[in-house]
Amino acid sequence: MPLVTVGQENSGNIDLYYEDHGSGQPVVLIHGWPLSGASWEKQTAALLNAGYRVIAYDRRGFGRSSQPSTGYDYDTFTEDLNKLLRKLNLRDVALVGFSMGGGEVARYLGVHGSQRVSKAVFIASVPPYLIKTSDNPEGVDGSVFEGIKKAIVADRPAFLSAFLANFYNVDVLKGKGISDQAVQASWNVGVGASAKGTLECVSAWVTDFRNDLPRIDVPTLVVHGDADRILPITATGIRTQKAVKGSRLVVVEGGPHGLTWTHAEKVNRELMNFLGQKKSAGADA
């Protein structure tokens, strides 16, 4: 099983599980909460068919990675990503982040720059800054996140069930873009994640990426559904596109948060078109 050791807790290593398939330009896929790298199933198949090298890893605490009691913050997540890129000696990388994964993309480029990275993609992602403050009136009231934490502590499996219903807009898309079995599969992955990590990631969601985004100097694509109930496009995707110079926003009509599954054909088409563009022409002026 391919692993990269990113730290140690007491007598055990903290290892990240990753998969590395194909050849060509490397594309690193960074998953959302509470899922794993396996959630990129539909994108991985398309990317491999298009001739890319695809690396998908499980964030610490999730999937088949270690479940330490610490490190559920974006500075640590970003260093985990950095260690993976260095271990595999990846260059000319396209970083693709979904939901929480967009935070790693923003913070990595904000801290480490683009020496290893040629393109960036944010899909239904958390930046720029979710919480409402005096200088961030577009954000969400902090009581919402406190309520989520309380619900996770009270009954994590039940909370995940309700969360995933809104993740995929099941009331609208069931039988069309999402099946009961696909939702169940996501629940199975989520409930198997670290209970502590699942809870502590909620605090990470409100990380401020407003200083990271303007530092991004590679062609950037932002993809977001206009029916996203988890991370509404007005608070996230639209603002991210405005913050990253030259970036392009693609709005997926009727797309829920989990649009990488429900609207995979549209997402994949936009992703392939973007990755296939030459670097100098990868962003709109």
At a CB cut-off of 8 Å and minimum separation 6, what does 51 contact? 22, 23, 24
Query: Can 143 be counted among the known catalytic residues?
Result: no
At a CB cut-off of 8 Å and minimum separation 6, what does 179 contact? none
**Nearest CA-CA partner of 91 in 51, 121, 118:** 118
Upper half-sphere CA count for residue 100 (Cβ side, 13 Å)? 26
Query: Can 257 be counted among the known catalytic residues?
Result: yes
SS (HEC) of 215-253: HCCCCEEEEEECCCCCCCCCCCHHHHHHHCCCCEEEEEC
Q: What is the DSSP letter of 57?
A: E
Q: Out of 15, 58, 212, 228, which one is annotated catalytic?
A: 228
**Nearest CA-CA partner of 225 in 251, 203, 249:** 251
Q: Out of 99, 125, 186, 194, which one is annotated catalytic?
A: 99
Report how far residue 105's alpha carbon sits from residue 95's, in angstroms, rounded to the nearest whole number.
6
Q: Out of 65, 125, 247, 257, which one is annotated catalytic?
A: 257
The answer to whether 247 and 283 are in contact (CB under 8 A) is: yes
Active site members = 99, 228, 257
